[in-house]
Amino acid sequence: MAYHMMSFQSHISLLIVLFGFLGLISFPVEAAIKKYQFDIQMKNVSRLCHAKPIVTVNGRYPGPTIYATEGDRVQINVTNHVKYNISIHWHGLKQYRNGWADGPAYITQCPIQTGGSYTYDFNVTGQRGTLWWHAHILWLRATVYGAIVIMPKPGTPFPFPQPAREFEIVLGEWWHKDVEEIVNQGNQMGLPPNMSDAHTINGKPGPLFPCSEKHTYAMEVEKGKTYLLRIINAALNDELFFSLAGHNMTVVEVDAVYTKPFTTQSILIGPGQTTNVLVKANKIPSRYFIATRTFMDAPLSVDNKTATAIFQYKGIPNTIIPSFPTTLPNANDTNFALNYSKKIRSLNSAKYPANVPLKVDRNLFYTIGLGVNSCPTCINGTRLVASLNNVTFVMPKTALLQAHHFDIKGVFRTDFPDKPLAPFNYTGAPLTANLGTKTGTRVSKIAFNSTVELVLQDTNLLTVESHPFHLHGYNFFVVGTGIGNFDPAKDPAKYNLVDPMERNTVGVPTGGWTAIRFTANNPGVWFMHCHLELHTGWGLKTAFVVEDGPGKDQSVLPPPKDLPKC
């Protein structure tokens, strides 16, 4: 009996040792499935002494953060309980072969109608960092937005010092009145809608606004520790400066791409862009304002009021008045904007290389223009429009990806011009004459795996202005930028083809140009538009139809069964 007991105990000991040894071996881990439920619903919210119903996700403003790890599969079921049709865009996620999950209404999907549901199902592949999600129909992203945080694979450290804690900072705008009513009123009059009444930080304008003491975001920090701020510009119509009083920030990532770290006292962040910064709490323990205000260096009216949050050291009483950042740039500080953008470079390390296309198969040159069209019912008899290469994009009634995938005729044309049909001195004396803007649902067809260079050129049609452009389905490299007219004979020689910044949204400077390059290796239909919602609504948008490749994994995936119908 004793012998059998000893044998049993020895056997157990052996198993413990064996399992302990196996625990040291790294087995492939199946990708996790992260599931979320988004209920689109109305909620009464009060800001600036005014209460109004707004469209929210799960009653939250801003909406919930999506957390995932590189390699995860994410499933988000969206159920629409409001009177508006809805769609959600997962901004910056590449959605390889899976435009069905990209979200822009009437581009990759028909919107989710009242009472309907749709599950966005996608893989997070080859990306890590800060992105965001937002409504992609009407102006509903005024309140329907939130952060996406993608952590590196387990065991993979950040290529910068590990922070003690992370904070998500989402910048937005607030209107006293119903945003859709404001937009409709502007459209009927043929005028821009009223500008926002305040900017917000995590949905709160801060104590410089009336009735806002309890509507102030505050973060508590401990002296000596380093913090990672994940900053997102969710504003509809404003590029924003952002500063933290008394503290430097080290930029380490933009648009979920690691950068060569550099230190700055302020950042510039356009609508749609994200920026991660490290902040060391190494100053005299006190309370410090975080502040954000508009950048606008064109002669246009903007909401120039400053939103604030509080960076508060642990143990400091709330009675201490926070200090204000003296380094926050003036609203028209063009030099800061241009110099800041030049500092952003890709990390371009062995692990995170910058694979810039060096040979270009397709050269595109798009002019950005504003204009006026006749509108007999409008207040001035005209309506403002916007165009690329003098084409004002008309939204279809059938989603472009569905029309492309199922070969539905008559929805779009593939004759969008590669360059302006009538070249002129783009940034010369103000041109108020209408060039005869063409309208239509016209897109460009791009061969699979071809390399594309696109130069975006601002023009002085009505006025010059900065434009943040977003390309869905892709990151691109910003190889060059400049003021004035792009010179194809001289400017390419100045390109950075070694470590240019890689991102999904880029600003075209006021009265200048920006050149980007990308490899068209993601088949499907991909929207490209100005991320100023005002200009998008006026037609400053187009799309690329990237053809299927010859390989078995180089074509658009079949659509999901619950794809919304128009």
Q: What is the pLDDT of residue 210?
A: 95
In eight-state DSSP terms, residue 559 is: P
Q: What is the pLDDT of residues 361-408, one digit of tens each?
A: 999 999 999 888 889 999 889 888 999 999 999 999 999 999 999 999
Q: What is the pLDDT of residues 161-183, one digit of tens each?
A: 999 999 999 999 999 999 999 99
Q: Could you say which of 155, 190, 222 is where a domain stops?
A: 155
Q: Could you say which of 122, 155, 188 is where a domain stops?
A: 155
Residues 81 and 146 in one domain: yes
On whether the CB atoms of residues 332 and 372 are closer than 8 A, the answer is: no
Residues 232 and 374 in one domain: no
Residue 119's H or E segment, with its range, is: strand 117-123
Give the model's confidence band at 1: pLDDT under 50 very low, under 70 low, under 90 confident, else very high: very low
Does the structure show a pLDDT above 70 at 130? yes
Q: What is the pLDDT of residue 279?
A: 98
Q: What is the pLDDT of residue 164?
A: 98
Q: What is the pLDDT of residues 201-210, one digit of tens each?
A: 999 999 999 9
**What residues are paired with 112 via a beta bridge?**
86
Tokens of 469: 């452009």
Q: What is the pLDDT of residue 20?
A: 38
Instruction: Give the 3-state secondary structure of 245-269.
Output: CCCCEEEEEECCEEEEEEEECEEEE
Q: What is the pLDDT of residue 17?
A: 36
Q: What is the pLDDT of residue 422?
A: 86
Query: Residue 228 domain-assigned?
Result: yes
Residues 310 and 374 in one domain: no
Q: What is the pLDDT of residues 63-100, one digit of tens each?
A: 999 999 999 999 999 999 999 999 999 999 999 999 99
CA dihedral of residues 21, 22, 28, 29 (deg, nearest 10): -100
Q: What is the pLDDT of residues 133-144, one digit of tens each?
A: 999 999 999 999
Burial of 33 per CB tally in 10 Å (0-12, 13-18, 19+): exposed
Residues 521 and 488 in one domain: yes
Query: Residue 119 domain-assigned?
Result: yes
Closest CA to 238 of 532, 538, 539: 532
Does the structure show a pLDDT above 90 at 18? no
Q: What is the pLDDT of residue 373?
A: 86
Type of residue at 510:
T
Tokens of 394: 């008309």
Q: What is the pLDDT of residue 432?
A: 60
Query: Residue 56 domain-assigned?
Result: yes
Distance CA 481, CA 424 (A): 20
Closest CA to 237 of 466, 414, 502: 466
Residues 35 and 149 in one domain: yes
Give the model's confidence band at 506: pLDDT under 50 very low, under 70 low, under 90 confident, else very high: very high
Average pLDDT of span 496-509: 98
Q: What is the pLDDT of residue 512?
A: 97
Average pLDDT of span 24-29: 40
Q: What is the pLDDT of residue 23?
A: 37
- Top pLDDT among 271 and 4 is at 271
Q: What is the pLDDT of residue 438?
A: 87
Q: Does residue 204 sit in helix, strand or coil?
A: strand
Q: What is the pLDDT of residue 436?
A: 67
Query: Residue 111 domain-assigned?
Result: yes
- As a whole-number percent, the residues of the chain with pLDDT over 70 amount to 94
Average pLDDT of span 465-491: 97
Residues 433 and 390 in one domain: yes
Residues 278 and 372 in one domain: no
Residues 238 and 286 in one domain: yes
Q: What is the pLDDT of residue 315?
A: 97
Give the model's confidence band at 30: pLDDT under 50 very low, under 70 low, under 90 confident, else very high: low
Q: What is the pLDDT of residue 433?
A: 55
Residue 187's H or E segment, with its range, is: helix 179-189
Instruction: Give the 3-state secondary structure of 93-144.
Output: CCCCCCHHHCCCECCCECCECCCCEEEEEEECCCCCEEEEEEECCCCHHHCC
Average pLDDT of span 276-291: 98
Residues 95 and 165 in one domain: no
Distance CA 375, CA 378 (A): 5
Give the model's confidence band at 8: pLDDT under 50 very low, under 70 low, under 90 confident, else very high: very low
Does the structure show a pLDDT above 90 at 430? no
Distance CA 177, CA 421 (A): 42
- Top pLDDT among 152 and 423 is at 152
Query: Residue 357 domain-assigned?
Result: no
Residues 367 and 466 in one domain: yes
CA atoms within 13 A on the CB side of 74: 26
Residue 383's H or E segment, with its range, is: strand 382-388
Query: Residue 268 domain-assigned?
Result: yes
On whether the CB atoms of residues 240 and 292 are closer than 8 A, the answer is: yes
**What residues are paired with 198 via a beta bridge?**
174
Type of residue at 312:
Q
Query: Residue 201 domain-assigned?
Result: yes
Number of domains in the chain: 3
Average pLDDT of span 132-157: 97
CA dihedral of residues 105, 109, 115, 118 (deg, nearest 10): -130
Q: What is the pLDDT of residue 390?
A: 93
CATH assignment at residue 151: 2.60.40.420
Going by their DSSP bridges, the two strands 505-508 and 467-471 should be labelled as antiparallel
What residues contact 467, with CB distance under 8 A and at least 6 apart?
368, 456, 458, 507, 508, 530, 532, 535, 540
Q: Print burial letters for 463-494: b (CB count within 10 Å at least 16), e (below 16).
A: bbbbbbbbbbbbbbbbbbbbebbbeeeebbee
Mean pLDDT in the chain? 93
Range(s) of the domain holding residue 59: 26-155
Q: Could you say which of 345, 378, 396 is where a domain stops?
A: 345
Q: What is the pLDDT of residues 331-345, one digit of tens each?
A: 999 999 999 999 999
Whose tokens are 């996406």? That residue is 148
Residues 394 and 340 in one domain: no
Type of residue at 109:
Q
Q: What is the pLDDT of residue 431?
A: 74
Average pLDDT of span 192-203: 94
**What residues are paired with 111 via a beta bridge?**
none
Residues 525 and 403 in one domain: yes
Backbone angles phi, psi at 513, to 5 degrees: -145, 160
CA distance to 169, 205, 211, 554, per residue, from 309 (Å) = 10, 8, 15, 46
Distance CA 491, CA 483 (A): 11
Query: Residue 552 domain-assigned?
Result: no
Question: Distance from CA of residue 54 to its chain's centroid?
Answer: 22
Type of residue at 185:
Q
Give the model's confidence band at 437: pLDDT under 50 very low, under 70 low, under 90 confident, else very high: confident
Does the structure show a pLDDT above 70 at 16? no
Q: What is the pLDDT of residue 36?
A: 98
Distance CA 457, CA 234 (A): 24
Does the structure show a pLDDT above 80 at 536? yes
Q: What is the pLDDT of residues 34-57, one digit of tens each?
A: 999 999 999 999 999 989 999 999
> How far apart are the two ends of the chain, measured CA to CA in Å?
77
Q: What is the pLDDT of residue 435?
A: 64
